[in-house]
């Protein structure tokens, strides 16, 4: 049986991975709907005659104070959240893992310098660091993505470095060296596949944190700018209306929570499925 097949089998056996996977898949569908542009209404279209209406046949999740369709805005908000988070995590994963692999493999001064820099980043709370970077760069989804990428890059460096440190003293890595293999070959062919599992799990977990960070930034008015639909911004705009028009508040809040929990559960399931101690070929 090939490795991907057995991985799918083990994922399917994990309730956490299945539940998380379903939640994530639903949101990816939502993202697709918004990307293709088949939301019930254009997300920014105002219907002044029907402001702050509760859920109805015409507006499934009701309308906000400008008469915009909450469902359409939530769908578009999911698209924006995922777009920012996926771009940010992709950047962080590629740069962070490369630095971490190199630090662990080549060690010495490069290792100490990069890890001290990572420590400096870790010293700041994630949201504070992201806030500072967005403030410096200015709002907009690209800058938000860059800020989130910077915040999570050191985590990937750490995650990649750890296993490399233990792998490079493994006898088979030393044997590869003794057989005259080039260090690049040893790193890519013999070390990377063993680190990949940890990085993949981290991607899933980082996506959940990135979504939370993105929402927090928009909530604080530093991420997406109105009239763009953003989950954080929607929560922020509707929190004073929570008592009168709760659907305005509840819809984006539930979606953010579901996304964060979904990615987290999927990441946990993935970690168990990829755990080499449970590996049996």
Partner 1 sequence: MTAAVSVRELSRTFRRGRRSAAVQALRGVSLSIEPGETLGVVGESGCGKSTLARLIARLDEPTTGTIEILGDDVTHMHGQELRQLRRSVQMVFQDPYASLNPRRRVGTAVEEVLKVHKLADSPAARTERVDELLGLVGLDPGLASRYPTELSGGQRQRVGIARALAIEPSIVIFDESVSSLDVSVQAEIINLMVALREQLDLTYVFISHDLGVVRHIADRIAVMYVGSIQELGTWRQVSDDPVHPYTRALLSAVPHMRLDDQAGPQETPVLGEIPNPADPPSGCAFHPRCPHATALCSEERPALRAVADRLVACHLAAEIVEQ
Is the backbone peptide bond immediately before 27 cis, with ω within 30 degrees of 0? Answer: no
- Closest to partner 1 by CB, 54 vs 193, is 193
Q: How far is the CB of 240 from partner 1 (least distance, A)?
A: 56
Residue closer to partner 1, measured from CB, 91 or 173:
173
In whole angstroms, how close is the CB of 1 to partner 1 at the nearest point? 12
Residue 186 CB, nearest approach to partner 1 (Å): 10
In the complex, the smallest distance separating the C-beta of residue 102 from partner 1, rounded to whole angstroms, is 17
Least distance (Å) between residue 270 CB and partner 1: 18
Q: Which is nearer to partner 1, 69 or 111 (CB)?
A: 111
Q: Which is nearer to partner 1, 50 or 194 (CB)?
A: 194
CB of 244 to partner 1, least distance (A): 59
User: Computed from CA positions of residues 208, 213, 218, 223, in that sequence, does the dihedral angle turn out positive or negative?
Assistant: negative
CA atoms of 26 and 186, how far apart (whole Å): 40
Nearest approach, Cβ of residue 191 and partner 1 (Å): 10
- Residue 198 Cβ, how far from partner 1 at the closest point, in Å? 14
Q: Closer to partner 1 by CB, 24 or 191: give it.
A: 191
Q: How far apart are alpha carbons 226 and 205 in whole angstroms? A: 29
- Here the tokens at position 216 are 């927090």
Longest dimension (CA), the chain: 78
Interatomic CA distance for residues 159 and 162, integer angstroms = 6
66 vs 181 by CB, closer to partner 1: 181
Please identify, using beta-carbon distances, which residue of 121 and 181 lies nearer to partner 1. 181
d(CA 230, CA 48): 21
Binding site for partner 1 (CB under 8 A): 170-172, 174-182, 185, 189-190, 193-194, 281
Using the minimum distance from each CB to partner 1, give the nearer residue, 142 or 182: 182
């Amino acid at each position: 049986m090939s490795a991907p097949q057995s991985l799918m089998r083990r994922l399917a056996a994990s309730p956490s991975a299945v539940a998380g996977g379903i939640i994530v898949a639903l949101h990816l569908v939502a993202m697709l709907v918004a990307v293709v542009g088949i939301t019930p209404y254009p997300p920014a279209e105002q219907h002044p005659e029907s402001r702050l209406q509760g859920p109805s046949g015409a507006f499934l999740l009701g309308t906000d104070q400008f008469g915009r369709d909450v469902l359409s805005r939530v769908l578009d908000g999911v698209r924006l959240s995922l777009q920012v988070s996926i771009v940010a995590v992709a950047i962080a994963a590629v740069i962070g893992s490369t630095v971490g692999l190199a630090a662990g493999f080549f060690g010495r001064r490069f290792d100490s310098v990069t890890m001290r820099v990572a420590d400096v980043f870790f010293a700041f709370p994630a949201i504070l660091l992201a806030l500072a970077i967005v403030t410096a760069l200015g709002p907009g989804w690209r800058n938000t993505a860059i800020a989130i990428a910077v915040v999570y890059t050191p985590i990937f460096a750490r995650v990649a470095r750890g296993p490399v440190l233990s792998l490079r003293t493994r006898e088979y890595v030393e044997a590869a060296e003794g057989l005259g293999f080039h260090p690049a070959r040893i790193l890519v062919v013999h070390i990377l596949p063993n680190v990949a599992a940890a990085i993949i799990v981290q991607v899933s977990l980082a996506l959940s944190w990135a979504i939370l960070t993105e929402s927090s930034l928009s909530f604080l008015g530093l991420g997406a700018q109105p009239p763009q639909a953003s989950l954080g911004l929607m929560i922020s705009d509707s929190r004073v209306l929570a008592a009168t028009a709760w659907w305005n508040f509840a819809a984006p809040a539930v979606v953010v929570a579901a996304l964060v929990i979904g990615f987290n559960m999927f990441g946990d399931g993935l970690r168990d499925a990829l755990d080499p101690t449970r590996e049996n070929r």
